[in-house]
Amino acid sequence: MGEKHNRAGFEDGFWWSNDGLRLHYRDYPGRDDRPPILCFAGLTRNARDFEAVAERLSGEWRIIVAELRGRGESAYAKDAMSYVPLTYLQDVEALIAQLSLKRFVAFGTSLGGILTMLLAAAEGDHVAGALLNDVGPELDPAGMARIRGYVGKSASFATWMHAARATAEANRDVYPDYDVEDWLRMAKRLYRLTPTGRITLDYDMKIAEPFRLPGNQAGPDMWRAFDGLKTCPLLIVRGETSDIFPADVARRMVERHGDVELVTVPRTGHAPTLEEPEAVGAIDRLLIRIEAKLGETAK
Supply the pLDDT for residue 211: 82
Supply the pLDDT for residue 117: 97
**Does residue 210 have a pLDDT over 60?**
yes
Q: How far apart are CA 37 and CA 58, in angstroms?
A: 10
**Does residue 216 have a pLDDT over 60?**
no
Q: What is the pTM of this model?
A: 0.95
Average pLDDT, the chain: 94
Supply the pLDDT for residue 299: 67
Query: 229 — phi, psi (to 5°)?
Result: -95, 0
How many alpha carbons fall within 13 Å on the CB side of residue 92? 28
Supply the pLDDT for residue 2: 47
Average pLDDT for 108-122: 97
Average pLDDT for 246-256: 97
Task: Name the residue among 131, 62, 136 with its Cα closest to residue 283.
Answer: 131
Strand pairing of 63-66 and 37-40? parallel
Which distant-in-sequence residues (6+ apart) come within 8 Å of 97 by Cβ? none
**Does residue 243 have a pLDDT over 90?**
yes
Map out the domains of the chain with their CATH numbers: 2-140+220-298 (3.40.50.1820)
Supply the pLDDT for residue 124: 78
Plot region of 59 (φ>0 → left; ψ -120 to 50 → alpha; else → beta): left
Q: How far apart are CA 260 and CA 35, in angstroms?
A: 19
How many alpha carbons fall within 13 Å on the CB side of residue 145? 3
**Per-residue pLDDT tens over the stretch 17-71:** 999 999 999 999 999 999 999 999 999 999 999 999 999 999 999 999 999 999 9
**Amino acid in position 74:** S
Distance of CA 143 to the CA centre of its chain: 17
Supply the pLDDT for residue 112: 98
Query: 110 — phi, psi (to 5°)?
Result: 55, -115
Contact 21, 67 (CB under 8 A): no
Query: What sign results for the dihedral spanned by CA atoms 267, 202, 101, 27?
Result: negative
**Does residue 1 have a pLDDT over 50?**
no
Q: How far apart are CA 246 and CA 224, in angstroms?
A: 18
Cα separation values, 272 from 5, 49, 74, 87, 171, Å: 29, 11, 24, 26, 12
Supply the pLDDT for residue 8: 66
**Does residue 96 have a pLDDT over 80?**
yes
**Per-residue pLDDT tens over the stretch 132-173:** 999 999 999 999 999 998 999 999 999 999 999 999 999 999
Question: pLDDT above 70 covers what percent of the chain?
Answer: 95
**Does residue 95 have a pLDDT over 90?**
yes
* Integer-rounded Cα radius of gyration of the chain: 18
Which range among 62-71, 151-160, 217-226, 231-240 shows the weakest confidence by mean pLDDT?
217-226
Distance of CA 117 to the CA centre of its chain: 12
Query: 188 — phi, psi (to 5°)?
Result: -75, -15
